[in-house]
Every structure is written in C-alpha cells, then in structure tokens.
C-alpha cells in the first residue's frame, strides 16, 4: 500500500464515522434508534436495502465467484423481482401499518408469544452467524494486504464498527449505506475500465475466450437438487429465499418500517427488484475480467499470499516445481487464447476451432496444476485451502495503480462497516423488543431501553467477531452467508405463510416451525448433496404442511403463552 492509498482509506473511513456520529445526535428513544422515527425517504431506504446486501462479501466473494465459476451465480437472484412484487402487496403494507418494531411482533398477535419468541430466536441465530461472515470478508482483504494474522484483522474491523454502531442508530446506518453505494459502484467501474484497457485483445475476443472456459454461461436449464445454481433453483428456491429474507428477516424489514409511508416502503423494495440483478451481474463480470487478465498475464499460483509463504518455507522444492509447471502452462494457454482472438479476427472457422480446442485443453491443465498446488498447500497449512476469496484482493494489490488500491479498500471497508452496523442494529432490535422488553423488563423508561439496546449491540458484535474467524475458512463467503441463511429462512417464511391461512392455529404454528427446522436439519445431514437453495423450499413446505395438520381440531383462539 502506497501513501496515497492510505490517505484515501483513512480519509473516507474518518468521514463515514464522523457523519454517522453526527447523525446519531439527538436520539433519545428506541423508536429513533431503531426506526429513525419512521421518517426516511424511499430512495434512501431503497439504497440501504441494496447496500445491506452489497457488503464487503459482494466485492470479495462474488468477484472471486465470477473469476472461478463465471456468471452462473446470477441465477441465484432470478426469484427476486417476483418476491418484491408479492411482498409489496402483502407483508409490507400490513407490517408498516401495524406500527411494529419487528416482524415477529405480528406473530404474537396472530398466534401466541411462544411462536414469536422461537421465530425471533431463529432470526437471531441466522443473522448473528451471517454477520460473522460479513466481518470475515474485509478481514480476508486486510490479511492479504498487510500479512497480519486473520484474528488481528477481524478485531481491526469488528471493534471500531461495533463502537460506531453502539453510538449510532438506523438513521446513521442508512445514510452511510447511501454513501457506500456510490463508492462501491465507482470502485467497480474504475477497476473494470483498468481491466479492459489492460487485456491485450479486443473485448469481444476476450469474452469469447471466457466463453470457451465456461465463464459466460448464465443459464443452466437442468433440474438438479444437487446443483446450487440452475434456472429452477433460482426461480423456485431463490423466490422462497427472497420472500423470507426481505419479508421476514428483521435486517430488511427494519429498513422499510423506517420509511415515511406504505407507498415509499413499496418503492424502496422495487428499487432492489429493478437494479439488484444487473448490479450483481456487473460484479460477477468484474470477476470474469480478472480471470481474463490472468489468462493473458500469468497470475499467481496461489491467490492467498499466506499459502505462498507457507509453501516457500516448508516445501521450497515442491513450490518451485509447481511454479515452473504453472508458468509453462500459462504461457501455452495465453498463446492459445491469442490464437483464438486472431482466428476470430480473420474469420477463419477451421483455425478458430483448432485454437479453441487447444485453449480448452490448456485451461484444463492449468486448473489441474492449481488443484495439485492447493492440495500440497493443505499439507503445510491448517484448514481448507480454497482461495476464491483472495482472487480480487491479490489482483488489486499486484496490478492496480496507486489511488485505485485505496479506493477499492475504502469501498470494501466502508461496505463492511455499513453492513455490519445494519446487521447489529437489527439484532439489537429483536433482542430488546422480542425478548428483553417482552419477557424480562416489561416496564422501564425509554432511557433504560436505549442503554440496553446499546449493550445488546456490543454483545452481538463480539459474537459476530468470533464467528468471523471460522467463516473465513468455509470457502466463497457469498455462498457461506446464503448457506447460513437458507438453513433458517424457509422455516421462518413458513410461519408467516401459516399466518395468512385462516385454518392455522397457534399450536400448528409453533409445532410446524419445529418440524420445519428438524426437516431441514435432517436433509442437511442425510442428503448433504442437496443444494442449499432448496432448503428454503423444504423448510417452508414442511412448516405449512405440519402446521395445518397440527391445527386440525384446535380452537380458533388458544390461550396466549
């Protein structure tokens, strides 16, 4: 990192913290702290909804996903537009008009207190785990940049973010999200421009090379429960996931509850429906461009510098042998890719077919060498060696000029701080409203609940930092977050679906929720090959079926518990 990069990073983060603290002044009650007194404009809420998802995980994990697996991941979001329309007609107007703090308050009104408590508890577990993964993403970047242990980097990100969130409220978080969207889009665009100018063949020829490597494949029409990214898993499993995430997850519900009106809350969600898929595709395409850059300019054998250092120290002969072999393959691959570009320009079908076949063979050999290298690294380092989360950080450090490195890191760190703050704020809301004020201290003044809210934020921050150390070893962080969520989301959605069915009773809702979680848990253990997106469908269906069966014969209104 050069001095200019540090100036950009420190200056931007300093501004974000100062502005957040400034906007937090005057907050004296929990409605102001959690919901900004329901006064936020729709466009700010909409950008905040998108920014909560476009965290550091998006910049680190999704770009790495694009570089290693291509554009298939975008199918994950195909259910989003339908989910936004359904929620705009159903849950959004009801919850906004109900003047609740959390979505789970409604479940007590419809069923009973124990259903509300269990559902809120499941949210706290799922979102607490996901928040840990969100902290992991910038920690991975800092670990690669500075060569520091991951634990130090987690503390460096987590501690100041927790302190900032404790002081600020949802209003500070929302306006920070607006700024982060500008920085993220600016950083992604700037890096894409640099990549396009540094790829030595015309862009259309380069994209043909990416297509030959399978990186531009978007649609997979096969119906497979094992494949996580198909058209059907995105449309069916993705719709269930998005309905649950945006309709029942407090981190998202809290955003549109803070909007001025029902219409503005709807508009904020429709912003995600229109813009999320194109923006996600752009970020995946950035990863594809990084892949292409390394096709023509030999990339590192290990994207994770820690693996490289460990192999140099523990097995230098193996490291040198693999490095030479990879360099030879990379030169041959680049030559074949240039031949492809030349054949396309010359409009020579025979030469193009031959060059494409040669390139595909060299690409397979490069993948094999990398697989062997990662396996060898696994013998000398603790834990998994998948380095998908290090692809974009390593590229940024090795290739980008001064200034752009700082801009990228500022985007990653600012995105992390805003997203972590949003998650912690929602965790604190559910903890205080659904548990502390509902069951433990039922009568107290606003100042007491505000202090308790800040303590809850700090405790959840500590929990998330611990989880972050584990999450960083699980592979693509964008997948890790959605795996955590998919284990819980379907069952939570199922309870809200039951709430819309007149025949459902409290006994059925509580028992159905337990049955749904048990079913998802059993499927995860007995059929680990079933892709995580289908867990949302399985959980929701299990809750509704079990809930209706258990509701048969129950009285119309059972005694609240």
DSSP 353-402: HHHHHHHHHHHHHHHHHHHHHHHHHHTTSSS----GGGHHHHHHHHHSPT
- Name residue, tokens 């490289």: 308
Residue 136 phi, psi dihedral angles, 5° rounding: -60, -35
- Least Cα distance to 48 among 283, 274, 262, 258 occurs for 258
Tens-digit pLDDT profile for residues 87-139: 888 888 878 887 888 889 889 988 999 999 999 998 898 888 778 877 887 78
Return the bridge partners of 40, or none: 259
Q: How far is residue 253's CA from residue 434's CA, in Å, rounded to a whole number?
A: 15
> For position 472, what pLDDT does the model report?
59
- Enter the pTM of the model: 0.78
Write out the two tokens for 157: 């990100």
Q: How far is residue 535's CA from residue 524's CA, in Å, rounded to a whole number?
A: 8
- Name residue, tokens 């909560």: 52
Using DSSP's 3-state secondary structure scheme, residue 181 falls into: helix
Return the bridge partners of 259, or none: 40
Three-class SS of 1-41: CCHHHHHHHHHHHHHHHHHHHHHHCCCCCHHHHHHHHHCEC
Using DSSP's 3-state secondary structure scheme, residue 259 falls into: strand
Would you place residue 183 in the very low, low, confident or very high pLDDT band (cuts 50, 70, 90)? confident
Q: How far is residue 345's CA from residue 413's CA, in Å, rounded to a whole number?
A: 42
- Least Cα distance to 373 among 454, 315, 330, 439 occurs for 315
Determine whether 473 is exposed, middle or buried from the number of CB atoms within 10 Å of its CB (0-12, 13-18, 19+).
Answer: middle
State yes or no: pLDDT of 378 exceeds 90. no
Q: How many CB atoms lie under 10 A from the CB of residue 350? A: 8
Mean pLDDT of the residues in the chain: 83
Tens-digit pLDDT profile for residues 383-438: 667 777 788 888 888 888 888 888 888 888 777 777 787 788 889 989 999 999 99
**CATH T-level topology, domain 3-18+31-281+406-470:** Sodium/glucose cotransporter (1.20.1730)
Tens-digit pLDDT profile for residues 67-78: 888 888 888 788
Question: Which of the two residues, 347 and 475, has the higher pLDDT score?
Answer: 347
Average pLDDT over residues 38-56: 73
Question: Which of the two residues, 254 and 331, has the higher pLDDT score?
Answer: 331
Q: How far is residue 104's CA from residue 86's CA, in Å, rounded to a whole number?
A: 19
Average pLDDT over residues 198-224: 87
Instruction: Give the N- to C-terminal CA distance of the chain in Å, as an integer.
Output: 58
- Least Cα distance to 386 among 378, 394, 396, 395 occurs for 378
Tens-digit pLDDT profile for residues 260-291: 888 888 888 888 777 778 888 888 899 999 99
> For position 317, what pLDDT does the model report?
92
Determine whether 157 is exposed, middle or buried from the number of CB atoms within 10 Å of its CB (0-12, 13-18, 19+).
Answer: buried
> For position 23, what pLDDT does the model report?
66
Would you place residue 482 in the very low, low, confident or very high pLDDT band (cuts 50, 70, 90)? low
User: Is-contact 102 326, C-beta < 8 A?
Assistant: no
* Angle at CA of residue 269, ends 106 and 239, nearest 5°: 80
CA distances in angstroms from 326 to 67, 313, 321, 396, 517, listed in the order given: 18, 19, 9, 21, 46
- Least Cα distance to 428 among 1, 27, 102 occurs for 102
Q: How far is residue 84's CA from residue 96's CA, in Å, rounded to a whole number?
A: 15
> For position 330, what pLDDT does the model report?
92
Average pLDDT over residues 201-221: 88
Domain boundaries in the chain? 3-18+31-281+406-470, 305-386
Q: How far is residue 326's CA from residue 363's CA, in Å, rounded to a whole number?
A: 11
> For position 511, what pLDDT does the model report?
94
> For position 293, what pLDDT does the model report?
93
- Least Cα distance to 390 among 366, 412, 360, 422 occurs for 412
State yes or no: pLDDT of 50 exceeds 80. no
> For position 558, what pLDDT does the model report?
55
Write out the two tokens for 56: 């550091």
Residue 156 phi, psi dihedral angles, 5° rounding: -60, -35
Q: How far is residue 373's CA from residue 381's CA, in Å, rounded to a whole number?
A: 12
- Least Cα distance to 33 among 134, 174, 135, 163 occurs for 174
Tens-digit pLDDT profile for residues 503-519: 999 999 999 999 999 99
> For position 362, what pLDDT does the model report?
92
> For position 25, what pLDDT does the model report?
63
Q: Is the dihedral of CA 143, 148, 151, 155 positive or negative?
A: negative
Write out the two tokens for 15: 């501004």
- Name residue, tokens 């959690």: 34
Would you place residue 368 in the very low, low, confident or very high pLDDT band (cuts 50, 70, 90)? very high
Q: How far is residue 417's CA from residue 206's CA, in Å, rounded to a whole number?
A: 36
Using DSSP's 3-state secondary structure scheme, residue 129 falls into: helix
Write out the two tokens for 103: 């979505």
Strands (E) across 49-115 are located at: none
State yes or no: pLDDT of 444 exceeds 50. yes
CA distances in angstroms from 274 to 46, 112, 241, 269, 504, listed in the order given: 11, 37, 18, 9, 34
> For position 460, what pLDDT does the model report?
92
> For position 384, what pLDDT does the model report?
66
- What DSSP letter does each residue of 438-494 carry, written as one string? III--S--HHHHHHHHHHHHHHHHHHHHHHHHHHTTSS-HHHHHHHHHHHHHHHHHH
> For position 559, what pLDDT does the model report?
45
């Amino acid at each position: 990192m050069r001095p200019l990069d540090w100036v950009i990073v420190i200056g931007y983060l300093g501004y974000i913290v100062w502005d957040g603290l400034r906007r937090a002044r005057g907050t004296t009650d929990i409605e102001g702290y959690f919901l900004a007194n329901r006064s936020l404009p729709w466009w700010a809420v909409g950008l905040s909804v998108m920014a909560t998802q476009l965290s550091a995980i998006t910049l680190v994990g999704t770009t790495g996903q694009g570089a290693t697996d291509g554009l298939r991941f975008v199918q994950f979001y195909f259910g989003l537009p339908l989910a936004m329309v359904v929620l705009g007609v159903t849950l959004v107007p009801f919850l906004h008009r109900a003047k609740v703090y959390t979505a789970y308050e409604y479940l007590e009104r419809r069923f009973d207190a124990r259903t509300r408590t269990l559902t809120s508890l499941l949210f706290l577990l799922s979102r607490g785990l996901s928040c840990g993964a969100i902290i992991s993403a910038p920690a991975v970047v800092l670990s690669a940049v500075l060569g520091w242990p991951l634990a130090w980097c987690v503390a460096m990100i987590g501690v100041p973010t927790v302190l900032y969130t404790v002081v600020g409220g949802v209003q500070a978080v929302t306006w920070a999200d607006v700024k982060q969207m500008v920085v993220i889009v600016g950083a992604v665009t700037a890096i894409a421009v640099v990549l396009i100018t540094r790829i030595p063949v015309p862009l259309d020829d380069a994209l043909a090379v990416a297509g030959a490597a399978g990186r531009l494949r978007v649609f997979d029409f096969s119906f497979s429960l094992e494949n996580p990214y198909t058209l059907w898993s995105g449309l069916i499993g993705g719709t269930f996931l998005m309905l649950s995430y945006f309709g029942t997850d407090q981190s998202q519900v809290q955003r549109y509850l803070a909007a001025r009106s029902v219409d503005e809350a709807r508009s904020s969600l429709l912003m995600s429906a229109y813009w999320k898929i194109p923006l996600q595709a752009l970020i995946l395409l950035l990863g594809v461009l990084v892949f292409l850059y390394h096709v023509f300019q030999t990339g590192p054998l290990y994207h994770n510098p820690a693996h490289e250092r460990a192999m140099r120290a523990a097995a230098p002969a193996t490291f040198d042998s693999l490095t030479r072999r990879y360099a030879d393959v990379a030169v041959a691959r680049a030559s074949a890719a240039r031949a492809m570009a030349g054949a396309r320009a010359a409009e020579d079908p025979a030469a193009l077919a031959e060059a494409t076949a040669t390139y595909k063979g060299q690409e397979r050999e490069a993948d094999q060498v990398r697989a062997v290298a990662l396996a060898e690294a696994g013998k000398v380092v603790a834990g998994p060696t998948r380095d998908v989360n290090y692809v974009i950080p390593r590229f940024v450090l090795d290739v980008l000029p001064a200034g752009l490195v700082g801009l990228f890191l500022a985007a990653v760190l600012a995105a992390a701080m805003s997203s972590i703050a949003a998650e912690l704020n929602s965790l604190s809301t559910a903890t205080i409203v659904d548990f502390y004020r509902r069951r433990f201290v039922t009568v107290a003044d606003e100042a007491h609940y505000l202090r308790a809210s800040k303590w809850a934020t700090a405790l959840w921050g500590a929990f998330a930092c611990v989880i972050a150390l584990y999450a960083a070893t699980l592979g693509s962080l964008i997948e890790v977050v959605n795996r955590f969520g998919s284990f819980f989301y379907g069952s939570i959605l199922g309870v809200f679906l039951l709430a819309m069915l007149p025949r459902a009773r409290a006994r059925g809702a509580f028992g159905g929720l337990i049955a749904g979680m048990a079913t998802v848990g059993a499927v995860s253990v007995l059929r680990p090959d079933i892709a995580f997106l289908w867990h949302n469908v399985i959980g929701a269906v299990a809750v509704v079926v079990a809930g209706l069966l258990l509701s048969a014969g129950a009285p119309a209104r059972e005694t609240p518990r």
